Structure 1
């Protein structure tokens, strides 16, 4: 437990990482978080001087895909740095201790770092039958969750299970699986949805808390704005085909081979807020749409109960498929011309009405 007082910089120096690479990491981190040029120096100062933040990582009803995403980063250096940045004091999935030893660490961290540790939650608590559908060390998970949240500095809801309930909460939800914000109501909760979330999104949130000692700015649903402020559709490389009305009609048709838009195949990109199309997966290599499959909207609340993944959720109107650039220009010119015509007609009516008023006043 003494290691929790060591700084991040002290840990990576012992691992042989140079100061040059340390500052390069800080610059890349500031950029990935969308922060200004001065943020890199603030991150460096924080990681050099602040003790590592103790983190308790708990698991409820889930498949552990969030942990898989987090620890299977395509960048080993990033993975090592993040695991050095925090003091991961408890994670029953990857920790060496088990049984009474693991429980002792949990209690020790809670007592020693009251109000200072971050509670990271993967999965959710079932509430039916007193929470007996998920037992931790002989106790319902919901009880341990409430206990550890009571003294936490902040709570992170990893993945759609913790954030929204996900498939465990799908109708008819016999276990009454519940998002953690319905159970923890007196603490700030940072929701990082996705099934699973992108590894760099997860590490970015941890980096921000480590640097600034507070949660990042959140949207009205509790998600970090730095990663969830734009729709996947907004930065999708197939967006031009959507705007042109060029769609894949059947799997592996000619349009699919040309990389046309997957909206008609059920892609939820226009209604899903996440960083997949900008950060991407596997170290920025690809994301589902780039791999030829539409987005299923896994970071959105209720995606599991909204019918087939291959149904369109919205009736979004597009331009027709243009035959050539001249026609595109004609359509645009026609729209502008129509607008000018309407404006001219309204102006003429106003002038006519004004003349009639003048004439009436003279008489």
Structure 2
């Protein structure tokens, strides 16, 4: 019987050195708000851990979270003359084995359905379920049908046999845009559509950041338990501080209008409707596009996409300015 290679072995096959591997572990320790000493602990765990099978379910969504997942871009590695570090560009697929994902998999129809069923049977209690998108419950769930089954019944089956269930993105967390008023399909997040899941972790965002997904899974692989969660079952390492408290624009004078001198100089965007003071997320530190930028750094205020029911509670995001 062929032994499943560990995560470290998979990375080594791609030419990732031990030094790069440790730097990758150090990055994850920093994301998890762990001390530097945790780097070696994470490295030891990943050196022994096999890749975890994943069933990725998509329901009522725009596929934005999958796009975020696919754009886990490499980050510059100053230790090797600015070349991109392959360990960070491939960390997602080296930690996870995506056995079922409707958007990414080659199989379709009955073959795809069989792939999901086979994974559940072969890895019952050992796979990770990632849910993207809201789960409609109106009309007995028949607002969303996949392979002749309702999204609700599929979610119930897959989540209840999973090692861990991750509601990835705003829609999977609490219904997101699909659940915004008037919510004709009675769309719900995982926590309400499939209540009582003790192993549920919510990673909201529109879209959610894949770094937080990987960090959550790596924490579990390292310590054999879920990371600390807040009252909304969000990891506190990612949702424990407000965006405003981490924002580099915070200490600067407030901009009065988009494009004015203070706005161009990196001024605070509170007067322009930024929701950073009431939004908890590590967006300013993990950033996007390979860690190069994030919305507020680009000059746009936070819209509070990790807050409950943000489409209803945080909008309108813009208002008309009447000119004389």
In structure 1, how many angstroms separate the alpha carbons of the residues matched to 2:265 and 2:9? 51
Kindly indicate whether the alpha-carbon contact (under 8 Å) linking 1:267 and 1:310 is maintained by their aligned counterparts in 2.
no
Partner of 1:224: 235
Kindly indicate whether the alpha-carbon contact (under 8 Å) linking 1:4 and 1:52 is maintained by their aligned counterparts in 2.
no
Once the two structures are superposed, residues 244-277 of structure 1 have per-residue CA deviations (whole angstroms, 9 ceiling, x without a partner) of xx32222222332332221111100000001112
Change (3 A) 1:104 1:268: same
Change (3 A) 1:114 1:195: same
Kindly indicate whether the alpha-carbon contact (under 8 Å) linking 1:4 and 1:54 is maintained by their aligned counterparts in 2.
no
- Confirm whether residue 298 of structure 1 aligns to residue 297 of structure 2: no
RMSD: 1.8
Kindly indicate whether the alpha-carbon contact (under 8 Å) linking 2:25 and 2:39 is maintained by their aligned counterparts in 1.
yes
In structure 2, how many angstroms separate the alpha carbons of the residues matched to 1:204 and 1:238? 26
Partner of 2:222: 211
3-state SS in 2 of match to 1:13 = helix
Which one scores higher on RCO, CA 8 angstroms, separation ≥ 6?
2
Change (3 A) 1:255 1:49: closer
**Cα deviation, residue 202, structure 1:** 2.3
3-state SS in 2 of match to 1:277 = helix
Change (3 A) 1:310 1:4: farther
How do residues 341-352 of structure 1 correspond to structure 2 at under 5 angstroms? none
In structure 1, how many angstroms separate the alpha carbons of the residues matched to 2:116 and 2:5? 19
Once the two structures are superposed, residues 57-89 of structure 1 have per-residue CA deviations (whole angstroms, 9 ceiling, x without a partner) of 110100111111111122154232320222211
Once the two structures are superposed, residues 9-45 of structure 1 have per-residue CA deviations (whole angstroms, 9 ceiling, x without a partner) of 2222222322232222222222222212332222122
Task: Determine which of 271, 276, 281 is the counterpart of 1:264.
Answer: 271
**Cα deviation, residue 3, structure 1:** 8.2
Partner of 1:110: 120
In structure 1, how many angstroms separate the alpha carbons of the residues matched to 2:10 and 2:258? 50
In structure 1, how many angstroms separate the alpha carbons of the residues matched to 2:208 and 2:3? 26
What TM-score does the superposition give when structure 2 sets the normalisation length?
0.89
- Confirm whether residue 58 of structure 1 aligns to residue 69 of structure 2: no
Unaligned runs of 5+ in 2: 75-85, 320-324
Structure with more of its chain in helix, by fraction: 1
- Confirm whether residue 176 of structure 1 aligns to residue 176 of structure 2: no
Kindly indicate whether the alpha-carbon contact (under 8 Å) linking 1:234 and 1:270 is maintained by their aligned counterparts in 2.
yes
Partner of 1:276: 283
The structure that has the greater radius of gyration is: 1
Unaligned runs of 5+ in 1: 312-363
How do residues 1-363 of structure 1 correspond to structure 2 at under 5 angstroms? 5-75=4-74, 77-187=87-197, 188-241=199-252, 246-306=253-313, 307-310=315-318
Partner of 1:322: none
**How many residue pairs get matched?**
306
What TM-score does the superposition give when structure 1 sets the normalisation length?
0.80
